[in-house]
Amino acid sequence: MNQPDYVIIRYPGPAYRGKPEVSAETRQVPPVTWSYLEPTFQFPGCTLTRTSERLCPNLFRDMAKSFVDKHPLQRMPSPSRGLSALVHLVGLTSFLWSFKYMHENPNHANQAYGWHFQYLTVIGLSLSTLTFAVALLADITSSPRLFLIKNILSICSAPLEVVISVLYWGLRLIDERLVIPEDLFIPMHADISFHATPSVVMLIDLLLLSPPWTITVLPALGLSGTIAFGYWFWIEQCFSQNGCAVVMALSTVTLKWLHGRVNGFGSPMKPESRPGDIKRKNGL
Say what the pLDDT of residue 138 is.
92
Helix (H, G, I), strand (E, B) or coil at 168: helix
Q: Would the pLDDT of 58 be above 90?
A: no
Which residues contact residue 218 at a Cβ distance below 8 angstroms, ignoring those fewer than 6 apart? none
Nearest to 89, CA basis, from 177, 194, 209, 171: 209
pLDDT at res. 131? 95
* Per-residue model confidence (pLDDT) at position 264: 64
Q: Tens of pLDDT along 16-32?
A: 333 333 333 334 333 33
- Report pLDDT digits (tens) over 121-179: 889 999 999 999 999 999 999 888 898 899 888 888 888 899 889 988 988 888 887 77
What global pTM score does this model have? 0.61
Q: Are 262 and 273 in contact (CB under 8 A)?
A: no
228-249 pLDDT tens trace: 777 777 776 666 543 443 444 5
Q: How far apart are CA 125 and CA 155, in angstroms?
A: 14
49 forms bridges with which residues in the sheet? 40
Decide if 7 contacts 48 (C-beta within 8 A). yes
- Please give the pLDDT value at position 240: 55
Q: Model confidence at 182, in pLDDT bands (50, 70, 90)?
A: confident
CA 189 from chain centre, in angstroms, equals: 26
In sequence order, the 6+-apart residues with CB closer than 8 A to the CB of 188 are none
Confidence (pLDDT) at 177: 78
Q: Is the pLDDT higher at 70 or at 36? A: 70
Predicted local confidence at residue 72, as pLDDT: 65
